[in-house]
């Protein structure tokens, strides 16, 4: 079909909307409620355009194209309408932009600047509500909510959790958990995808910056940091670099200058996880155990199965997640090496994930002391770097501290969906055949698809595996396990679509293009690593020889494994 868009003739396909065509033609139409790959709602009306034949303003995101249509996206009438909508949103919004955590990345703030909103033209009653800060991972400020519904759609349609929804009607309309309870009293999994998709500051991560600064300034504590694989391919975005820029060395340098005594690599913990996880899988296959085995690295996914499929907890790997394994060893193996009492060691994990904040305070993870004392997100680290007055771009490239600073390419790919599975297959191949995989890259389980499946032949053994990201995609597989119809031996699950590179604590805004570039960089780190198999990590080998004994042994189980619980606390 042909349409006229701002005086230019453009082609269009049946089923496309005005917004689809405008974006393809390089014309920007602002949106607030719109989510790519979701059916449109047209609720915010910011994308209003003028269609000549109907003589009215329509939402571009929901209005279908027809032959010969004449559309104006930038007429005086359109600009006035959009500005009025923005002014009405601002009239019901707290005027706290100066100290809002989303200042500078707020989509509503950006629109007020672009459309020249300089005064409160509309005065009247505002919605009032309490801030919900009870969750260990996510804060919710209902007064800042603009009712765009993006968080609701992500929670229901992408994650199939449904922890929040629209409540009440008219002026009292709000987004809240059932019965307007706190997020920590409903089956929220703390994945943070609502935070990633919120255009304003109504949903944010629970900040841990204050306790971390206090620990750094406490002379009685030895404060150490560890950095997740997905952080190093995203942090530079916070300082204006292109998405996917690898900034491992500068991240380490920044943490040292902030005041951390030592900086370690969570990829070491990832390598360790693979050794334990591959050992556990092979033990289940040869000695009996619940099959398929499900990975346990993603705390949002773990909380999901605890809430909704507790009868399948026996299928979940008992391995702690990489940063928890590393935290446990920092307070035992490493603390003993440097002669520090574990009570004086304060472990901070820099993570792409909000659910890690919840995970760190689980009583099942730690003995006399928690494995990890605090978790900060990629965004929080960027704020701390700015507060410290550090010019990120001028930092040198520095290396991690030993012995838990050595890692392999297999540990790096944990940050992408399918990475845990691929790393595990590399080590499982070695355990079953005595040889490394001829090619360590395994394409069938790479990519951003929500479900990836493969059949892998290793020696005389055939393994059927799957890698799943986005919680809606795991439900059919869990139902098949319940019914006894699952064909798989091993399933990797990541709560966030695309994996940790798209975690709830990553730089905003999150776009598909950024996600692709971060993922590509994760695999670039793997390709350029001198060692690409977890079992080739010499520091891990030394750890077993000096301290842990054998993989899956008594001490390994005591420090590196845990148990999970049925959650009926909602």
In whole angstroms, what is the distance from residue 227 CA to residue 262 CA? 11
* Tokens representing residue 222 in the block: 């030895």
In whole angstroms, what is the distance from residue 244 CA to residue 555 CA? 38
Q: Are strands 374-377 and 451-458 parallel, antiparallel or unpaired?
A: unpaired
**Is 542 among the residues known to form the active site?**
no
Catalytic residue among 214, 364, 538, 546: 364
Q: Which residues pair with 11 in a beta bridge?
A: 2
Torsion 283-285-289-295 (CA) sign: positive
Q: Which residues contact 249 (CB under 8 A, 6 or more apart)?
A: 395, 396, 397, 398, 399
**Among candidates 398, 441, 403, which has minimal Cα distance to 421?**
441
**Is 359 among the residues known to form the active site?**
yes
Q: Which residues contact 527 (CB under 8 A, 6 or more apart)?
A: 409, 441
* Tokens representing residue 493 in the block: 């699950």
Kindly provide the residue ranges of all beta strands, DSSP E only, lying in 357-423, ordered along the sequence. Answer: 374-377
In whole angstroms, what is the distance from residue 377 CA to residue 218 CA? 22
In the chain, the N- to C-terminal Cα span, in Å, equals: 52
**Is 356 among the residues known to form the active site?**
yes
Q: Are strands 174-176 and 165-167 parallel, antiparallel or unpaired?
A: antiparallel
Catalytic residue among 208, 298, 317, 486: 317
The radius of gyration computed from the CA coordinates of the chain, to the nearest angstrom, equals 25
**Is 276 among the residues known to form the active site?**
no
In whole angstroms, what is the distance from residue 440 CA to residue 452 CA? 18
Cβ atoms of 29 and 40 within 8 Å: the answer is no
**Is 364 among the residues known to form the active site?**
yes
Catalytic residue among 148, 191, 319, 500: 500
State the residue for tokens 């997100």: 377
Catalytic residue among 277, 306, 406, 492: 277
Distances in Å between the Cα of 401 and the Cα atoms of 338, 381, 544 are 13, 19, 19
Q: Which residues pair with 9 in a beta bridge?
A: 4
Catalytic residue among 194, 297, 319, 353: 297
Q: 468: which DSSP letter? A: E
In whole angstroms, what is the distance from residue 319 CA to residue 420 CA? 13
- Give Cα 249 distance to the centre of its chain: 22
- Give Cα 124 distance to the centre of its chain: 38
**Is 277 among the residues known to form the active site?**
yes
Catalytic residue among 303, 356, 357, 517: 356
Cβ atoms of 134 and 182 within 8 Å: the answer is yes
Phi-psi region of 289 (alpha: psi -120 to 50; beta: other; left: phi over 0): left
Q: Which residues contact 247 (CB under 8 A, 6 or more apart)?
A: 232, 233, 235, 236, 241, 392
Neighbours of 393 (CB within 10 A): 11
Catalytic residue among 107, 205, 280, 492: 280
Cβ atoms of 41 and 149 within 8 Å: the answer is yes
Catalytic residue among 107, 359, 406, 422: 359
Residues annotated as catalytic are 277, 280, 297, 317, 356, 359, 364, 500
């Amino acid at each position: 079909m042909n349409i006229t868009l701002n005086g230019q003739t453009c082609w269009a396909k049946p089923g496309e909307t005005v917004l689809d065509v405008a974006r393809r033609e390089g014309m920007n139409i602002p949106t607030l409620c719109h989510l790519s790959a979701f059916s449109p709602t047209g609720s915010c009306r910011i994308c209003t355009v003028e269609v000549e034949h109907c003589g009215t303003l329509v939402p571009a995101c929901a209005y279908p194209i027809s032959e010969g249509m004449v559309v104006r996206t930038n007429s005086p009438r359109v600009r006035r309408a959009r500005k009025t909508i923005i002014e009405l949103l601002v009239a019901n919004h707290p005027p706290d932009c100066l100290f809002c955590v989303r200042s500078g990345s707020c989509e509503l703030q950006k629109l007020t600047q672009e459309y020249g909103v300089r005064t409160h033209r509309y005065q009247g009653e505002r919605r009032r509500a309490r801030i919900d800060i009870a969750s260990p991972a996510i804060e919710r400020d209902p007064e800042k909510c603009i009712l765009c519904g993006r968080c609701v759609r992500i929670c229901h349609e992408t994650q199939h959790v449904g922890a929040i929804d629209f409540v009440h009607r008219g002026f009292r309309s709000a987004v809240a958990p059932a019965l307007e309870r706190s997020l920590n009293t409903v089956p929220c999994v703390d994945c943070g995808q609502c935070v990633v998709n919120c255009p304003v500051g109504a949903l944010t991560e629970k900040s841990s910056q204050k306790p971390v600064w206090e620990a750094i300034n406490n002379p009685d504590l030895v404060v150490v940091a560890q950095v997740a694989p997905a952080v190093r391919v995203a942090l530079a975005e916070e300082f204006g670099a292109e998405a996917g820029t690898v900034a491992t060395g500068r991240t380490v340098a920044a943490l040292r200058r902030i005041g951390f005594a030592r900086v370690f690599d969570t990829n070491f913990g990832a390598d360790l996880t693979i050794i334990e996880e591959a050992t556990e899988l092979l033990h289940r296959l040869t000695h009996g155990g619940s099959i398929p085995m499900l990975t346990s690295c993603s705390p949002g996914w773990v909380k999901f199965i605890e809430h909704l499929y507790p009868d399948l907890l026996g299928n979940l790997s008992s391995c702690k997640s990489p940063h928890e394994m590393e935290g446990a060893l920092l307070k035992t193996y490493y603390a003993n090496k440097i002669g520090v009492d574990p009570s004086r060691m304060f472990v901070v994990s820099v993570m792409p994930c909000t659910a890690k904040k919840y995970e760190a305070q689980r009583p099942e993870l730690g003995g006399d002391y928690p494995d990890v004392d605090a978790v900060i997100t990629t965004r929080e680290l960027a704020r701390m770097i700015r507060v410290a007055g550090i010019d990120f771009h001028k930092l040198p490239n520095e290396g991690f501290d030993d012995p838990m600073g050595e890692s392999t390419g297999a540990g790096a790919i944990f940050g992408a969906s399918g990475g845990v599975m691929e790393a595990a297959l590399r080590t499982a191949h070695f355990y079953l055949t005595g040889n490394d995989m001829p090619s360590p890259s395994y394409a069938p389980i790479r990519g951003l698809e929500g479900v990836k499946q493969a059949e892998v032949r290793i020696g005389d053994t055939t393994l059927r595996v799957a890698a799943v990201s986005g919680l809606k995609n795991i439900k059919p597989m869990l139902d098949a396990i319940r019914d006894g119809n699952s064909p798989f031996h091993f399933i990797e699950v990541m709560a966030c679509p695309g994996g940790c590179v798209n975690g709830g604590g990553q730089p905003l805004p999150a776009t598909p293009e950024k996600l692709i570039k971060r993922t590509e960089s994760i695999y670039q780190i793997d390709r350029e690593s001198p060692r690409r198999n977890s079992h080739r990590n010499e520091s891990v080998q030394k750890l077993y020889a000096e301290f842990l004994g054998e993989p899956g042994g008594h001490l390994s189980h005591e420090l590196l494994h845990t148990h999970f619980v049925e959650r009926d606390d909602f």
